[in-house]
Structure 1
Amino acid sequence: MADELIFYTHPQSRGRIARWALEEVGAAYETQVVEYGTTMKGEDYLGINPMGKVPAIVHKGRVVTECAAICAYLAEAFPEAGLAPTAEERADYYRWLFFAAGPVEQAVTNNFAKFEPSADQGRMFGYGNYDLAVDVLEKAVSAHPYIAGDRFTAADIYVGSAVGWGTMFGTLPKRDAFLDYFSRLSSREAYQRAGAKDDALAAELEAAKAPA
């Protein structure tokens, strides 16, 4: 039943990552759109995610937030999709999933905000500096066709989204390794299907705002 899995999102948000994960697992789900500044900060949605951010999913009454957690959760909740790691893939799967969600996210957002940590601050911040985080990410996506080995897993959804958005919007450099990696991912049917759904939803929301 679709009402067993509810997806809270906005098409112009990181909800696109969760949408891709949902399309990859192939489970039926209900989409609930929450708007910036209104329903996203409303009492009902804050009861689901007190941060007032998207995405979030509710599966059989249990809430999951944070994109990396949603990707990992869906892979385990729907094992038939084959997105969870094998024993051989598990180390790289979790290592790079959380590297992208932690050090890379921090490095990219701080760099975008024009904050460059000193050497002392770099030790405290955990990612060192932007260039180091980017270099390590480049090596990670270059080691194998996919982030955990020779096949696509849920970790590629999150890491791939970080790489795809970063190279598209200029928060990551357009290095060949990044472009080659994301090219493999963006050709997937589930990625294209998710993007088409979010693009259509974005157009629908814009049309609704237009004066009559």
Structure 2
Amino acid sequence: MTGIVLHHVPQSRSQRVLWLLRELGVMFEVREWPFDKTLRGEEFLALNPVGRVPALEIDGRPVWETGAILQVLCERFPDAGLDRAPGHAEWIDWLIQIHFAETISQHAAVLTQGHLMLRDPSTRSPVVMKLEAARVGKCFDAIEARLDGDWLLRGGFSAADVAVAQAAVMARRFHRVGDRARMAAWMDRCEAREAFPAEDGGLYDRDFYEVPDA
């Protein structure tokens, strides 16, 4: 049996790996970590040398970086049909969307730091926060423009939807989906999937964070 252990912090990027594992229907173990200095300890740094989640152990080998983990899992379990293999007509688009998710997540991470990590209002930059929220909006525009069917790829649901939708779930705490009707319907479809993991606990304490006044 393939041994898979996901090292996970709720409401973080590791949420998308959890979702993918559930979509793949494989056996795995979850080890939950607190979002604190524990991630900088020797035990976790042996799994991810920069002290970030996710980290995945597969057959005793640590794998880190979310996009790499998704690709490794999809290639390991191709029967699930969640990847697009090299040479497939949608392979390049699949790769773009897998890695586009990290662009969205990075903007969300900056906003998370501004709203939650910098507790002293004097250390926050409303200008930067407003700019990053606008950049999330541009990412949402790209999703809206991309969708011309139920899923990001015409060939059907894939790990690309997992990656981008999970990033969008994080980012919509800082920029509303609004009147992007195709994106809103797509996110509803994603969240209605049986494998979609509920966000139990975690870092965020509200559904939406307004940009503070300058």
Contact 2:70 2:159 in 1 (8 A): yes
- Matching of residues 106-145 of structure 1 within 5 Å: 106-109=106-109, 113=114, 114-115=127-128, 132-140=138-146, 142-145=147-150
Contact 1:57 1:64 in 2 (8 A): yes
- Indicate the residue corresponding to 1:173 in structure 2: 177
For residues 90-120 of structure 1, give each alpha carbon's deviation from its aligned partner in whole angstroms, at most 9, with x where no partner exists: 1211122222323x334455567542899xx
Aligned length: 184
Judging by fraction of residues, say which structure has more helix. 1
Contact 2:67 2:98 in 1 (8 A): yes
Structure 2, gaps ≥5 residues long? 115-126, 203-214
Q: Does 1:60 pair with 2:52?
A: no
Contact 1:10 1:35 in 2 (8 A): yes
Q: Distance in 1 between matches of 2:55 and 2:17?
A: 8
Q: What is the TM-score normalised by the length of structure 1?
A: 0.74
Letter paired with 1:13: S
- Indicate the residue corresponding to 1:164 in structure 2: 169
3-state SS of 1:6 partner = strand
Structure 1, gaps ≥5 residues long? 119-127, 204-212
Q: What is the TM-score normalised by the length of structure 2?
A: 0.73
Specify whether residues 93 and 172 from structure 1 end up closer, same or farther in structure 2 by C-alpha distance, changes over 3 A only. Answer: farther
- Indicate the residue corresponding to 2:100 in structure 1: 99
Q: Percent of counterpart pairs with the same letter?
A: 28
Higher relative contact order (Cα pairs below 8 Å, separated by 6+ residues) = 2
Specify whether residues 173 and 150 from structure 1 end up closer, same or farther in structure 2 by C-alpha distance, changes over 3 A only. Answer: same
CA drift of 1:179 comes to: 1.0
CA drift of 1:58 comes to: 0.9
- Indicate the residue corresponding to 1:209 in structure 2: none
